[in-house]
């Protein structure tokens, strides 16, 4: 991984005690093969590569990665395909999915891999090196579904930058990848999910609901929406410091906060940022990444029954490796918390 992140060491130790299996839906991609070869050389995470066995092995040889011992599963030669087709039809019976169509759907690595997780043959999945975000996430939404206590699946990015003091600066931003125009209730759920996820990475959450207005300095429908969403989040989680609506400068700069909202406990020190919609969120995290020198990990999907994550199509092998560890470490997170 490109920078040492608080939380990674703990995740690896956890996986070493209880190794997990992770599906990579794009088994012939060189970045996946490089990450898989690194994981195979360790003993905490078993990669399952989806693809034609010969094609995967040839690709590994061509790119020079040792994947000896890898579990390669070819959707076209899978010995439990009948069981998988039946389960898929059952899961999608409300959409009247028929076996013939299910067989076609399962030829796609994203659906096939997601079904491996659903059947308990793998613990988690990482895809999206070549699929779009929507194509990676859709099978998870349709088949893995939202876990109890959650109304939506959302996502957050964890941003990491070494600070002058030598300590990493770690922030969470949400929802930059899934929910296009979240409602007030959804924004509240997104904030709570991002805070809980941030804690896994060592963040002590201080949550700002971002807007172009700070605590009433501006007016408008979008301002009301963020203020109401912040109130809803506070009502759901009175234990968390949550504030908003708030401008980004008031959220992060103690000097600006002293001027704009001196009595606010979050202002000036926010580290979990809730954006009004996916436009703002996606643009915002990329500004931090490209101009603020933060490493961005994510999108980390929140609220699914099993961890499934999406890679950026521009990812490198290092990012695949890091995201694989993050994804697998999210298995049983709720159980750990109980």
Ligand X SMILES: CC(C)(COP(=O)(O)OP(=O)(O)OC[C@H]1O[C@@H](n2cnc3c(N)ncnc32)[C@H](O)[C@@H]1OP(=O)(O)O)[C@@H](O)C(=O)NCCC(=O)NCCS
Rounded-to-integer distance, Cα 69 and Cα 7, Å: 28
User: DSSP letter string over 120-135?
Assistant: TS-SEEEE-SSS-HHH
Among 42, 52, 146, 305, the residue binding ligand X under the rule CB under 6 A is: 146
Q: Which residue is nearest to ligand X (CB)?
A: 141
Residue 183 engages ligand X in binding (rule: CB under 6 A): no
Q: Which range of residues in 5-13, 32-40, 177-185, 256-264 is near ligand X by CB under 6 A?
A: 177-185
Residue 138 engages ligand X in binding (rule: CB under 6 A): yes
Rounded-to-integer distance, Cα 164 and Cα 146, Å: 40
Residue 299 engages ligand X in binding (rule: CB under 6 A): yes
Q: In angstroms, how far is the first alpha carbon of the chain from the final one?
A: 30
Name the residue nearer to ligand X (CB basis): 25 or 247: 25
Q: Are 31 and 320 in contact (CB under 8 A)?
A: yes
Name the residue nearer to ligand X (CB basis): 39 or 296: 296
Q: What are the Cα distances from residue 209, in Å, to 84, 159, 237, 248?
A: 42, 17, 14, 9
Q: Which range of residues in 26-34, 36-44, 146-154, 238-246 is near ligand X by CB under 6 A?
A: 146-154
Q: Which range of residues in 34-42, 98-106, 109-117, 131-139 is near ligand X by CB under 6 A?
A: 131-139
Binding residues for ligand X, how many (CB under 6 A)? Answer: 15
* Residues 102-121 contacting ligand X, CB under 6 A: none
Q: How far is the CB of 177 from ligand X (least distance, A)?
A: 4
Positive or negative CA dihedral for 244, 249, 253, 258? negative
Among 177, 200, 215, 301, the residue binding ligand X under the rule CB under 6 A is: 177
Looking at the DSSP assignment, which residues form a beta bridge with residue 170? 160
Residue 142 engages ligand X in binding (rule: CB under 6 A): yes
Rounded-to-integer distance, Cα 5 and Cα 2, Å: 9
Name the residue nearer to ligand X (CB basis): 72 or 190: 190
Rounded-to-integer distance, Cα 6 and Cα 147, Å: 27
* SS (HEC) of 39-96: HHHCCCEEEEEECCHHHHHHHHHHHCCCCCCCEEECHHHCCCHHHHHHHHHHHCHHHC
Among 41, 77, 180, 291, the residue binding ligand X under the rule CB under 6 A is: 180
Positive or negative CA dihedral for 227, 231, 236, 240? positive
List CB contacts of 96: < 8 A, sequence separation 6 or more.
none
Residue 87 engages ligand X in binding (rule: CB under 6 A): no
Q: How far is the CB of 133 from ligand X (least distance, A)?
A: 4
Residue 25 engages ligand X in binding (rule: CB under 6 A): no
Q: How far is the CB of 114 from ligand X (least distance, A)?
A: 12
* Residues 230-289 contacting ligand X, CB under 6 A: 282
Bond preceding residue 33 cis, omega within 30 of 0: no
Q: Which range of residues in 52-60, 76-84, 115-123, 135-143 is near ligand X by CB under 6 A?
A: 135-143
Question: Which among 322, 332, 336, 337 has a CA at the least distance from the CA of 5?
Answer: 322
Residue 67 engages ligand X in binding (rule: CB under 6 A): no
Name the residue nearer to ligand X (CB basis): 138 or 269: 138
For binding to ligand X (CB under 6 A), which residues are involved? 133-134, 137-138, 141-142, 146, 152-153, 177-180, 282, 299
């Amino acid at each position: 991984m490109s920078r040492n992140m608080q939380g990674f060491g703990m995740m690896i130790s956890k996986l070493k005690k209880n190794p997990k299996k992770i599906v990579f839906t794009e088994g012939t991609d060189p970045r996946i093969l490089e990450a898989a070869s690194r994981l195979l050389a360790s003993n905490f995470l078993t990669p399952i590569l989806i693809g034609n066995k010969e094609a995967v092995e040839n690709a590994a040889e061509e790119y020079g990665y040792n994947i000896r011992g890898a579990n390669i599963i070819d959707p076209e030669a899978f010995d439990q395909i009948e069981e998988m087709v039946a389960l898929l039809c059952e899961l999608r019976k409300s959409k009247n999915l028929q076996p013939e169509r299910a067989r076609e759907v399962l030829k796609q690595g994203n659906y096939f891999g997601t079904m491996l997780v659903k059947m308990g043959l793998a613990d988690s999945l990482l895809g999206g090196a070549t699929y779009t975000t929507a194509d990676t996430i859709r099978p998870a939404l349709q088949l893995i579904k939202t876990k109890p206590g959650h109304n939506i699946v959302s996502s957050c990015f964890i941003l990491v930058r070494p600070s002058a003091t030598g300590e990493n600066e770690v922030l969470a931003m949400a929802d930059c990848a899934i929910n296009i125009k979240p409602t007030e209730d959804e924004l509240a759920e997104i904030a709570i999910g991002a805070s809980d996820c941030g804690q896994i990475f060592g963040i002590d959450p201080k949550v700002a609901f971002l807007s172009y207005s700070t605590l009433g300095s501006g007016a408008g429908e979008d301002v009301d929406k963020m203020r109401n969403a912040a109130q809803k989040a506070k009502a759901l989680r009175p234990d968390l410091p949550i504030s908003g609506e708030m401008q980004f400068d008031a959220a992060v700069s103690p000097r600006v906060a002293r001027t704009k909202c001196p009595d606010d406990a979050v202002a000036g020190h926010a580290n979990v940022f809730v954006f009004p919609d996916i436009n703002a969120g996606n643009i915002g995290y990329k500004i931090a990444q490209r101009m603020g020198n933060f490493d961005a990990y994510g999108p980390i999907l929140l609220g699914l029954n099993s961890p499934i994550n999406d890679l950026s199509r521009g990812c490198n092998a290092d990012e695949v490796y890091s995201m694989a560890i993050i994804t697998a470490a999210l298995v049983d997170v709720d159980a750990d918390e109980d």
